[in-house]
């Protein structure tokens, strides 16, 4: 690898990291503002114009607060747990293509940090690592509520990962590749070539599973305030709590980006061939990716303030008895269709 290539990769990593952190901040603001709007309130509007500096004020508050480590916690794991949760959440974005190829310094640069040839599996593997953060946080807190929250969350993540993976398999079958770039390329063109049209069932299962994977309402049983105080982060304060907070939003961003990539054509702008337009095409593709992602992030918040929480047995029933069989049938039908068309 030459020096320029190395610099380019570093720049891409920095840009994506900064963008993710910025989006996390924007999301925290958006969450509060949108929830307020849906409840007939105004929401934070004091810090800065329209309150947009509110997340920064919150961040400063988190930094200034006393970092309490309760006496009877398991200290090393208690400190490690937020990091275990946050790092995979930030890492997952590495394989998501967020724009068409850009030509700079006489070389073609894909707008994606790493074009891993097992991209989807990489994401699924990393999201399954996030469970450790929650489970270990719950256990090390030495608190019944935290432990229950952690265990619930772990069971939930394992259950829904299956449905999610099976929904993704039908997409993999269509694209014939585990590379996210190939999956995006497979969906180029019109609206009808997007996977959401080809695989509506898989899309619905995937969407529901992402809500469970990110521990968002209606599946936020691991931090159900009414039953478990705060769940796994009951004992956390200050910056460690902020890390849990950031991890939740980072996971949301990844989930939204993944939904867009898998089902809504990624950075594809319908009816336009981005490659023939040069820089304008690149810009259009990035903007379309951001807009699609923003919609799904809005949907996350929208759903949170609309639906009540599931009961735990309902959650398990939905995951194992409804979504898993439907996903299997969907795979069967997709594979059958593909093999029949291959024969003909």
The contact set with another protein (CB under 8 A) reads: 34, 36-42, 45, 74, 76-77, 80, 116-118, 121-122, 124-126, 128-129, 131-132, 135-136, 139, 147, 150-151, 154-155, 158, 161, 178, 204, 302-303, 305-307
- Provide the CA 341 distance to its chain's centre, in angstroms: 34
Least distance in Å: CB of 284 to another protein? 28
Q: Which long-range contacts (CB under 8 A, 24 or more apart) does 308-313 make?
A: 308/217, 308/218, 309/217, 309/218, 309/219, 309/220, 309/221, 309/224, 310/218, 310/219, 310/221, 312/152, 312/221
Cα–Cα distance, 131 to 154 (Å, whole number): 6
Tokens of 1: 């690898």
What residues have CB less than 8 Å from 97, skipping those under 6 apart?
110, 111, 112, 115, 180, 181, 184, 261, 266, 267
**Burial class for 30, CB neighbours closer than 10 Å (0-12, 13-18, 19+):** buried
Q: How far is the CB of 66 from another protein (least distance, A)?
A: 27
Minimum CB separation of residue 38 from another protein in Å reads: 5
Q: State the Cα angle at 218 between 55 and 96, rounded to 5°.
A: 60
Nearer to another protein, 223 or 274 (CB): 223
Token reading at 158: 């394992």
In the complex, what is the shortest distance from the CB of residue 56 to another protein, in angstroms, rounded to a whole number? Answer: 21
CB nearer to another protein: pick between 1 and 64? 1
Residue corresponding to tokens 């996390």: 24
Nearest to 131 by CA among 202, 215, 217: 215
| Nearer residue to another protein within complex by CB, 192 or 307 | 307
Q: Is 159 or 285 the residue whose CB approaches another protein more closely? A: 159
- Tell me the sheet residues that pair with 99: 111
Q: Write out the E strands in 51-156.
A: 99-104, 107-111
Nearer of residues 76 and 278 to another protein, judged by Cβ: 76
CB of 31 to another protein, least distance (A): 13
CB of 279 to another protein, least distance (A): 32
Tokens of 293: 């992602």
Least separation in angstroms between residue 9's CB and another protein is 15
> What is the nearest approach in angstroms of another protein to the Cβ of residue 277?
33
Closer residue to another protein (CB): 9 or 38: 38
CA-closest candidate to residue 215, choices 122, 118, 130: 130
- Asked if 251 and 259 touch (Cβ cutoff 8 Å), the reply is no
Task: Name the region of 176 (left: φ>0; alpha: ψ -120 to 50; beta: rest).
Answer: left
Q: Which is nearer to another protein, 6 or 337 (CB)?
A: 6
36 or 272: whose CB is closer to another protein? Answer: 36
Work out how close the CB of 286 gets to another protein at its nearest, in angstroms, rounded to a whole number: 27
Q: Distance between CA atoms of 84 and 99, rounded to whole angstroms?
A: 29
If the CB atoms of residues 126 and 224 are measured against another protein, the closer one turns out to be 126
């Amino acid at each position: 690898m030459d020096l320029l290539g190395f610099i380019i990769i570093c720049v891409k990593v920095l840009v994506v990291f900064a963008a993710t952190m910025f989006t996390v901040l924007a999301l925290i603001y958006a969450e509060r503002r949108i929830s307020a709007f849906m409840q007939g309130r105004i929401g934070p509007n004091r810090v800065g114009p329209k309150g947009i500096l509110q997340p920064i004020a919150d961040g400063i508050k988190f930094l200034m607060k006393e970092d309490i480590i309760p006496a009877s916690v398991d200290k090393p794991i208690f400190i490690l747990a937020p990091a275990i949760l946050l790092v995979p959440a930030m890492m997952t974005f590495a394989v998501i293509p967020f724009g068409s190829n850009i030509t700079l310094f006489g070389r073609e640069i894909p707008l994606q940090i790493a074009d891993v040839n097992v991209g989807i599996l990489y994401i699924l593997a990393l999201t399954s690592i996030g469970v450790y953060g929650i489970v270990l946080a719950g256990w090390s807190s030495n608190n019944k509520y935290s432990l229950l929250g952690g265990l619930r969350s772990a069971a939930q993540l394992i259950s829904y990962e299956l449905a999610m993976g099976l929904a993704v398999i039908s997409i993999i079958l269509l694209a014939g590749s585990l590379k996210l770039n190939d999956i995006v390329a497979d969906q180029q063109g019109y609206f009808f070539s997007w996977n959401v049209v080809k695989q509506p069932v898989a899309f619905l299962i995937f969407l529901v599973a992402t809500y469970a994977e990110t521990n968002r309402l209606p599946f936020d049983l691991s931090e159900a305030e009414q039953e478990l105080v705060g769940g796994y982060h009951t004992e956390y304060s200050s910056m460690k709590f902020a890390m849990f907070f950031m991890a939740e939003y980072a996971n949301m961003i990844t989930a939204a980006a993944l939904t867009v990539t898998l089902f809504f054509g990624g950075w594809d702008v319908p009816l336009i061939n981005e490659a023939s337009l040069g820089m304008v095409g690149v810009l259009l593709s990035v903007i379309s990716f951001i807009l699609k992602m923003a919609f799904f992030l809005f949907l996350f918040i929208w759903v949170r303030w609309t639906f009540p929480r599931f009961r735990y047995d309902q959650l398990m029933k939905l995951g194992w008895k409804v979504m898993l069989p439907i996903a299997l049938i969907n795979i069967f039908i997709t594979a059958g269709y593909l093999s029949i068309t291959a024969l003909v």
